[in-house]
Structure formats: structure tokens, C-alpha cells
Amino acid sequence: MVAGDQSDPADVLILGGGPAGYVCALRAAQNGRAVTLVERARVGGVCLTEGCIPSKHLAVFAAAKSSAERFASAGMPALAGGRDLGAFQTRRSAAIDGLVKGVAGLLAAAGVNVVQGNAWFVGRTRVCVATGEESVRYLDFKDVVIATGSCAVPGAGVDLRTADASGRRRRLRLARAGGRVRPPREPGCHCDAGRQAASRFRR
């Protein structure tokens, strides 16, 4: 269904449901504003579902595996047993799902209207949100907060294929931050977990 010129009012519209977006939504709701939050995927954003939280789970798992392997020469070879990455992924996914549900619960309790879809501006105070392949809706806002985050840029001229922290395959591009190349942490974690990983840099 296409909404046409019909639109819904939004006192405060927030684009992006990551750490900046959902915290802003909660604070605005606490201050008595009627809040609508638009997120194209799951609330929590890349940080919670693909980046920070999954990376930390991987780092802890890899560090524990690396430490256990050092006990083999100390007379405790059982601690250096094989890894079960399937079980690890299952447990990590469950932890992420729990956090996403927690954020969604906080937003619901605060009365924040969450709309899932891709949004773009079609006027000074209006956005269009694609909520399905053939379904859009329009929102007319009083105030708007753009909290969509950012994406990496190939500043270092390095283009690799790798798995992100959530285990999905994707193209990895190293971003230049502060004039220096900041490499991702995942390769080292994969090595500590007993998997092959490689990084390539060019100054």
C-alpha cells in the first residue's frame, strides 16, 4: 500500500535506533515529547548487533581459548581441547537477542513509537519511510534527530573480504581515523580462537 499524501504527525522524529538514537528517544520521551523512532533493522544498531557487542564476545572467547592452550604444557591438556564455534555463535546470538529485546522493551515502556524501515527526506519537515517492498508511509515532524551512524571509507586503499563480528561475510574496508590507519580487532581474535586470519595494510 502506498500512503500517497497522507501522513502521520511526529513531534520528535529520530532516524536510527543505535546507541545514540534509542538513548535520545528515551530522554525525549522522559521530557514529555511524543517520539517516533525509525530503524531499518533491529534497535540497538550496528554496535549491539554486529560490531561492539559481538566483538567483545569474540574477544573474551578468544582470550579464554588462548589462555587454556597455555595450560597444556603445565600438565592440563584437557583445557586445550578443541573449540566449538557453533555453540559459541549460538550463545552469542542469544545474548544479542536478549539485549535487543531489552532495548525494545525500554522503548515500548517509554511510549516511543518504533517504525521499521528505510527513511529519506522528501521535504523540510517530512520523511518517507519504506516499510516494505511496495509500502511507504510519510511522517511530518516538528523536530528531527539524525542518528544513522556512519560507514567505513577506503581511506587506506585496502579492500578485503572477511567475516564481521557477527559471523557474516562482508567486504571490509579499513578507515582512516586521525590520519592513521586503525585496523579492526577481529583478525587477532580469530587467531587467538585458533582460526586463520590475515590483515593487509598500506600507508
Strand (E) or helix (H) holding 170: strand 169-173
The answer on pLDDT for 155 being more than 70 is no
Pairing type for strands 113-116 and 169-173 reads unpaired
For every residue of 111-126, DSSP letters joined together read T-EEEESEEEEEETTE
- At 51-107, the pLDDT tens digits run 888 888 888 888 888 777 777 777 766 666 677 788 888 889 999 999 999 999 999
Identify the CA nearest to 144 among candidates 121, 116, 172.
121
Contacts of 94 (CB under 8 A, 6+ apart): none
Q: How confident is the model at residue 176, as a pLDDT?
A: 42
Question: What is the distance between the alpha carbons of residues 139 and 127, in angstroms, rounded to a whole number?
Answer: 5
The answer on pLDDT for 197 being more than 60 is no
169 or 58, greater pLDDT? 58
Q: How confident is the model at residue 22, as a pLDDT?
A: 96
82 or 20, greater pLDDT? 20
In a domain, 191, yes or no: no
Identify the CA nearest to 36 among candidates 6, 8, 13.
13
In a domain, 171, yes or no: no
Task: Calculate the average pLDDT of the chain.
Answer: 78
State the residue range of the domain holding 50: 2-146
Q: How confident is the model at residue 32, as a pLDDT?
A: 96
In a domain, 87, yes or no: yes
193 or 141, greater pLDDT? 141
In a domain, 81, yes or no: yes
Other C-beta atoms closer than 10 Å to the C-beta of 43 total 26
- To the nearest 10°, report the CA torsion of 64, 69, 71, 73: -170
Contacts of 186 (CB under 8 A, 6+ apart): 55, 58, 162, 163, 164, 165, 197
In a domain, 117, yes or no: yes
Pairing type for strands 135-146 and 126-132 reads antiparallel
Question: What is the distance between the alpha carbons of residues 35 and 110, in angstroms, rounded to a whole number?
Answer: 9
The answer on pLDDT for 143 being more than 70 is yes
Q: Which amino acid is at 59?
A: A
Give the number of domains in the chain: 1
Q: How confident is the model at residue 28, as a pLDDT?
A: 97
Q: How confident is the model at residue 69, as a pLDDT?
A: 77
In a domain, 16, yes or no: yes
For residue 133, what is the domain's CATH number?
A: 3.50.50.60
The answer on pLDDT for 162 being more than 90 is no
Task: Kindly list the distances between the CA atom of residue 83 and the CA atoms of 64, 66, 99, 163, 186, in Å, as whole numbers in the listed order.
Answer: 11, 11, 25, 18, 17
In a domain, 71, yes or no: yes
Q: How confident is the model at residue 183 (pLDDT cuts 50, 70, 90)?
A: very low
Other C-beta atoms closer than 10 Å to the C-beta of 9 total 11
In a domain, 158, yes or no: no
Identify the CA nearest to 160 among candidates 151, 169, 148, 147.
169
- At 6-16, the pLDDT tens digits run 789 999 999 99
The answer on pLDDT for 126 being more than 80 is yes
